[in-house]
Amino acid sequence: MTTSAQTVLAPARARTAAATATVRRKQGFQHGGWFVAPFLALFVLFVIWPLLRGVYLSLTDANISGEGASFIGLDNYREALHDQLMWDALGHSAYFTLLVVPCITVLAFLLAMLAHHIERGKWLWRLCFFVPFLLPSTVAGNLFQWLFTQGIGMFNHTFGIDTPWLTDKSYAMLAIVIETLWWTVGFSFLLYLAALQGIPDHLYEAAKLDGANAWHRMVHITLPMLRNITGLVVALQVLASLQLFDQAVVMMDFGPGPELSTRSFVQYTLEQGFTSYRVGYASAMSIIFFVIIAVVALARMWLLRNREEGGR
Amino acid sequence: MTTVGTTASTARSVRPRSRRPWTPSQIVLTLLGVAVSAVFVAPIAAALFTSLKSEAEAAEIPPHWLPKVWTAQAWKALWSTGNLTNWFVNSLVVSVCVTTVVLVVSALAGYGFARTEFRGKSVLMGMVMSGLMVSPAVLGVPLFTTVQQMGMVDTYWGMILPQCAPAAMVYILYKFFQGVPRELEEAAFIDGAGRWRVFLTIVVPLARPSLAAVGIFTFIASWNNFLWPYMVTNNPDLMTMPNGIATVMNSYGIQWAQLMAGGLMAGLPLIVVFVFFQRQIVAGVAHTGLAGQ
């Protein structure tokens, strides 16, 4: 059936190849723009326009009502660069990222190896490791706020300690890190698991014939084959962690944490905009943050390109 | 000696072709798996048990795992006092609308970018790629003032539409559509089908797994989205589940048993969905992730 269809099609295609190309190009010109139009409309309204508006607002002293804003040049940026609280907030977000990214990458890899190598009940391991990711951030945050509360919290009780997780500056960020690990490791775990399952069997078989033991197979086959996915996991985690907000505010009752120690950059920006009503200043910080995120994303693209050039 | 070595290494190897007998390494791994799973499930189990305690018992020091007296009072109180049903409906409306719009809009755009020609395509594509870096967390305040200008604060539209322009989803589908063999389309063009017909009858059915992945992730992200609804709604009647639980329930002064019950209510729908569609979701994560690679 398939063969006959192909033999019938082949000459037809040869005959009209040129005609098809013209038709295709014409069709494309007619409709191409329409395919993209609905998305572009939304994209311009809710991404590009806010971005441009953010740039404009950042040069004014606008308040939340949007009336009576006057142009003040780069004053907001100048103020921001001298705002110790902003640098602190940026530091907290960066510190959180530095703690979370390596932990989550290693943990996700180990969990994936475990789930991949146990022969029975794969669905059960997948379910258990992934299920926290399905909870809303606020639910996971409330849950760990409760677990970490001194006295009534299960965490201290289980380990027989009495650590002031949420009220002491030296532990608060650590509590948020532990919560984030539990809550989000499942996503990276699934990525690793899929990548592990994508490694062709014959590589291992060949290595075994050559007498490689399990450790050698992991170092020389598994890890190199997982390089791409590790790059992806790290990149996604860095971008997500820099945008820390939900779990931190929920665990700290919408406050900045003990001695302001958990106030993230996003939180500080939103406080400036919605609590102090300084929309201009908050916009300037948003733009600064956008630049930081863009630099990180471009750095990744640059690294990827270099690696491809070096690898091939 | 050689035989022993070979069996051991086969047992350690991964791919289960048939049911293998319990080997020592499998027993150790399985026990480890059970232990780690217990750690992951413990917080949720603790939440469940706490939601079945009375408020007084939930606040007892030191805490204990199982309720001494099992009671559903927290769950009942949730139904009678909270706006929980409202929030649930709101979450459902918002997530379903966002998912539908995102699927339609990003499938069209992904295909348009991958397979059609029009003026300014590469510039627009570059713009979309830069959109990967923008989120309500990054541009919250300017996005809010934009939505405010449009008069959409405290409306469904204000919650839904800004979630409907995800550059990432367009990118994933763009990658997929690039991989669809052109011959399939050309054959249909020869038969006289137009662009739209080819798109709807040939390309979309082929893309079903990718679309499922995009749909599932959009739904999860939208159901769990806290930041944007938090910024754009103040009206308790309009809040979504995560938002209502975090702001309204906490502001009463925390009642842990009720809070845990509410949290489980918010989390349960997705957990049930996951249990039923586990295969598709796992394939979806793999698919989306590998596309981004």
Give pLDDT tens digits for B150-201: 999 999 999 999 999 888 889 888 888 888 888 888 888 888 888 888 888 8
The token pair at B227 is 């930041």
Which residue is it, tokens 């146990």?
A118
Is the residue at B192 inside a domain?
yes
**Which of helix, strand or coil describes residue B288?**
helix
Is the residue at B184 inside a domain?
yes
Distance from CA of A40 to the nearest CA of B (A): 8
The token pair at B185 is 């389309």
Kindly determine whether residue B109 and residue A38, on different chains, have CB atoms separated by under 8 Å: yes
The Cα-based distances of A184 to A179, A262, B51, B140, B263 in angstroms read 9, 19, 23, 23, 17
CB B124 within 8 A of CB A40: yes
> Over the stretch B53-90, which tens digit does the pLDDT of each residue have?
888 888 888 888 888 889 888 888 888 766 888 888 99
Amino acid at B166: P
Distance from CA of A245 to the nearest CA of B (A): 8
Is the residue at B62 inside a domain?
no
The token pair at A235 is 């990149």
Is the residue at B185 inside a domain?
yes
The token pair at A229 is 């996915």
User: Which pLDDT score, from 0 to 100, does residue A232 have?
Assistant: 85
Count CB-CB contacts under 10 A for residue A106.
11
Q: What is the C-alpha separation between A114 and A128, in angstroms, rounded? A: 12
Q: State the distance between the two ends of chain B, measured CA to CA, in whole angstroms.
A: 43
CATH number, domain of B94, equals: 1.10.3720.10
What residue numbers bound the domain in which B167 lies? 84-292
Is the residue at B272 inside a domain?
yes
B-proximal residues of A, 265-304, CB under 8 Å: 266, 269-270, 272-274, 279, 282-283, 286, 289-290, 293-294, 297
User: Which pLDDT score, from 0 to 100, does residue B222 have?
Assistant: 92
Is the residue at B40 inside a domain?
no
Is the residue at B27 inside a domain?
no
CB B104 within 8 A of CB B98: no
A-proximal residues of B, 252-271, CB under 8 Å: 256, 259-260, 263-264, 266-267, 270-271
For residue B59, the chain A residues in CB contact (below 8 A) are 152
Distance from CA of A243 to the nearest CA of B (A): 6
Amino acid at B120: G
The mean pLDDT of B198-213, rounded to a whole number, is 86
A-proximal residues of B, 205-224, CB under 8 Å: 220, 223-224
Report the domain count for chain B: 1
Residue-wise DSSP of B156-183: HHHHHGGGG--HHHHHHHHHHHHHS-HH
The token pair at B164 is 């409907």
For residue B231, the chain A residues in CB contact (below 8 A) are 270, 274
User: Which pLDDT score, from 0 to 100, does residue B40 have?
Assistant: 94
A11 preceded by a cis bond (ω within 30 of 0): no
Cα dihedral angle (B97, B100, B103, B109), rounded to 10 degrees? -70
B17 close contact with A: CB closer than 8 A: no
* 3-class SS letters over chain A: CHHHHHHHHHHHHHHHHHHHHHHHHHHHHHHHHHHHHHHHHHHHHHHHHHHHHHHHHHCECCCCCCCCCCECCCHHHHHHHCCHHHHHHHHHHHHHHHHHHHHHHHHHHHHHHHHHHCCCCHHHHHHHHHHHHHCCHHHHHHHHHHHHCCCCCHHHHHHCCCCCCCCCHHHHHHHHHHHHHHHHHHHHHHHHHHHHHCCCHHHHHHHHHCCCCHHHHHHHHHHHHCHHHHHHHHHHHHHHHHCCCHHHHHHCCCCCCHHHCCCCHHHHHHHHHHHCCCHHHHHHHHHHHHHHHHHHHHHHHHHHHHHHHHHC
The token pair at B173 is 């589908």
The Cα-based distances of B64 to B50, B101, B180 in angstroms read 9, 46, 57
CB A116 within 8 A of CB A196: yes
Distance from CA of A227 to the nearest CA of B (A): 10
Consecutive 10-residue averages of pLDDT for chain A (312 residues)? 42 49 50 84 92 92 77 90 94 95 95 90 88 91 91 86 88 94 92 87 88 86 88 89 92 88 93 89 93 89 73 43
Average pLDDT for chain B: 84
Is the pLDDT at B105 greater than 50? The verdict is: yes
For residue A125, the chain B residues in CB contact (below 8 A) are 33, 37
The mean pLDDT of B118-125, rounded to a whole number, is 86
User: Which pLDDT score, from 0 to 100, does residue B103 have?
Assistant: 95
Domain range summary for chain A, segments of one domain joined by +:
85-311
Supply φ then ψ for residue B272, to 5 degrees. -60, -45
> Over the stretch B244-259, which tens digit does the pLDDT of each residue have?
888 777 666 678 888 8
* Domain A85-311: homologous superfamily in CATH: MetI-like (1.10.3720.10)
For residue B186, the chain A residues in CB contact (below 8 A) are 13, 20, 24
Kindly determine whether residue A204 and residue B30, on different chains, have CB atoms separated by under 8 Å: no
The token pair at A242 is 């820099």
Considering only CB atoms, B227 lies closest to which of A144, A194, A245, namely A245
A47 close contact with B: CB closer than 8 A: yes
> Over the stretch A226-242, which tens digit does the pLDDT of each residue have?
888 898 889 889 999 99
Q: What is the C-alpha separation between A101 and A240, in angstroms, rounded? A: 10
Which residue is it, tokens 């809009």?
B105
